[in-house]
Amino acid sequence: MMSLSATNGRMNRWSRRLALLLTVLTFPLIWVGGLVTTTDAGMAVPDWPNTYGYNMFLYPWESWLLGPWDLFIEHGHRLLAALVGMVTIALMVVVLKTDARSWMRKLVIVALVAVIAQGILGGVRVRLNDVTLAMIHGCTGPAFLVLTTIIAVMFSKFWQNPVSPELSAAEADNKNEQNEDSEFIEDDKQQFNAALRLARLTTILVYCQLILGASIRHIPVTTSPQTYSLLVIFHIGMAVAVTGHIVMLCLAIRCTKNLPQSIRSGAKQMGLLIVVQLLMGIGTWVLKFGWPAGLGNNRYLADHLVVTQGWFQSHVVTGHVAIGSVILVMAALLTTRLLRLQFVTQQLEATEVIETS
């Protein structure tokens, strides 16, 4: 318990606020980046880091706000990315000055390096007008969102004390009721370990699904219809696998005793979100493949891609991408919380063994 109290003392409210702000800003950055791809606005500003010869921050606001939509969304994406970079720098400075945890200091440095690399990757993609770089840029963005979320969790109350007094008392009562039956304790640990394994594997599968989706969105125009169809089929098959794993994860967490409410609530929210994502995926299918008119072409897929136009079409397709990033974050969040709970529980058990001996 002394180590937990010491951790509390090292926490700084400004670090917590900046970490939360960084996460809150990164998600709309991904949404806007998705809109850039959906509306094919990636080359609306052909130069970088300038904007039509202007310093990015000095570009006339009336030309930006009142100009064409593709210019508005691409330049806005750059400005929001710059803001995320500035907040990352501020977080690193505050953490380096106030946080004594060496691993946290290294983690915020990694976050700064990641956001700089992401910005350079986006800029080089514009300079070279390279579709492959655009795909990589679209895959690394959600990974950075996961990193910012994990950092924010490490400043939360849950991280400071994942084993609440209520749960500790309930666990003690359960042990007393079972007369400290070793089989009962072992079954409980096996259920927890199963949930942790599922959380890890689900996170990996969701990210693989995200990569497949990015491959479809940034596929070269020279790609054959057969290759495109194969990618879409793989994407649908992976969606089935991800849904099945999320269902199993939710059931495993529900069956695991004495878990904090934040973990149980997170599993329920992810279960609901996968339903929304499936509906958004169906909507994306309808809008992109012109179903039902195009459903019969090329066996199960259309030979053409319906160009997304208009507010509704663009936001349905982009929303499908953005929700996928949220599901990835929630899976990583559950994994992180389960790992933290496991670590602290093992520490407390080791302390009890030492005290009793």
Return d(Cα 12, Cα 140) in angstroms, integer: 29
Residue 180: what pLDDT? Answer: 44
Summarize pLDDT for 249-267 with one digit per residue, the tens: 999 999 888 888 999 999 9
Question: Taking the CA atoms of the chain, what radius of gyration do you get in angstroms?
Answer: 23
Structural domain boundaries of the chain?
1-161, 164-357
**Mean pLDDT in the chain?**
84
User: Beta-carbon neighbour count of residue 349 at 10 Å?
Assistant: 10
With 0.75 as the threshold, say if the pTM is over it. Answer: yes
Return d(Cα 123, Cα 137) in angstroms, integer: 10
Summarize pLDDT for 181-232 with one digit per residue, the tens: 444 455 678 889 999 999 999 999 999 999 999 988 888 878 888 888 888 8
Helix spans in 11-130 (H): 13-38, 61-65, 69-98, 102-128
Residue 303: what pLDDT? Answer: 42
Write the CB contacts of 321 (distance below 8 Å, at least 6 apart in sequence): 30, 34, 37, 38, 213, 217
Return d(Cα 199, Cα 229) in angstroms, integer: 30
Summarize pLDDT for 142-159 with one digit per residue, the tens: 999 999 999 999 998 899
Summarize pLDDT for 266-302 with one digit per residue, the tens: 999 999 999 999 999 888 877 776 655 544 444 444 4
Look-up of token digits 């199963």: 194
- The DSSP bridge partners found for residue 226 are none
49's tokens: 């880091």
